[in-house]
Chain A
Amino acid sequence: MDPDRPLVDRTLTGDLRAFEQLVERHRDVVFRVAARIVGRDGAEDVSQDAFLRAFHRLGRFRGDAPFRSWLLQIAHHAAIDAVNRRGVAVEDGEAGEEAPDPEATRMPAERLERRERTERLEAKLHRLRPPHRAVLVLRDLEGLTYEEIAAATGTPLGTVKGRLHRARAELIDLLRANTYDWELPR
């Protein structure tokens, strides 16, 4: 049985404490997906939007799939809507990578390098088209199955696999075009 089902049922009777527990339980995954799709700056608003959409549509949750999958579907749509509202966000990491970080001077060298690589990689990820980025995030970062991704994105299984294949190839191309050496074999 879906461990969230009792909390969903209690929320439907008007128990907002139960909904609070659902938010606490899933806030990390919703925020991570939102942040990977819209960027860290807009992720808090998108997460809030996703939870509120879920709250108001909870009566339509049939329970065929786990609540988590249903919530991720809503979070995915909220993130894509946010990207579409502000135009396709293409953050070119090259400029951002140059920005000095005052905190950086206090970090050990190894941690600093790891953080720099992570930020560069995130910037490249954000250059993928949103539907491709979303599939890559859900599969390679969140570990969802193809079927779960198909349900979350509302696309056929074949499209999910095609987008994932293209997203990986595009990201590899983007990383190869970078001045930074990502040690990607041919």
Chain B
Amino acid sequence: MTDADDDSAAPAPAPASPAAEERLGALLGLLRADPPVATAELPARVLRTARWQHAVRGALRVSGWMTTAAADVVGLITKGRR
């Protein structure tokens, strides 16, 4: 779905009066006054996952270097034999 599709898919609602918009603003104040709150565990969860993903990425990077280095060595050996 593109932005254009999204905005043209439905007919435009009738414009709201300034008084209605003002009242809506006051009603939305109810939501601002009662915000959803994350659990205390969220940062710990994020950090736990970030840690192991960081470790896996590091390990993959090292194994990538080793594979590249091994391939280079094999390439040099086979080149030397030719």
Residues on A facing B (Cβ under 8 Å): 14, 16, 19-20, 23-24, 27-28, 30-32, 35-36, 40, 43-44, 47-48, 51-52, 55-56, 114-115, 117-118, 121-122, 125, 129, 131, 140-141, 155, 159, 162-163, 165-166, 168-173, 175, 182-186
Query: Are B6 and A168 neighbours in the complex by a CB distance under 8 Å?
Result: no
| Contact partners of A122 in chain B: CB under 8 A | 31
Q: Is the CB of A31 within 8 A of B36?
A: yes
29 inter-chain pairs at a CB distance below 8 angstroms, sorted by A residue, are A16-B47, A27-B42, A32-B35, A32-B36, A36-B31, A36-B36, A40-B36, A44-B45, A48-B42, A48-B46, A48-B49, A51-B46, A51-B50, A52-B53, A55-B46, A55-B50, A56-B57, A122-B31, A131-B7, A141-B32, A159-B3, A159-B7, A163-B7, A172-B21, A172-B24, A182-B23, A183-B23, A185-B17, A185-B23
Indicate which residue in B14, B15, B42 contacts A31 across the interface (CB closer than 8 Å).
Answer: B42
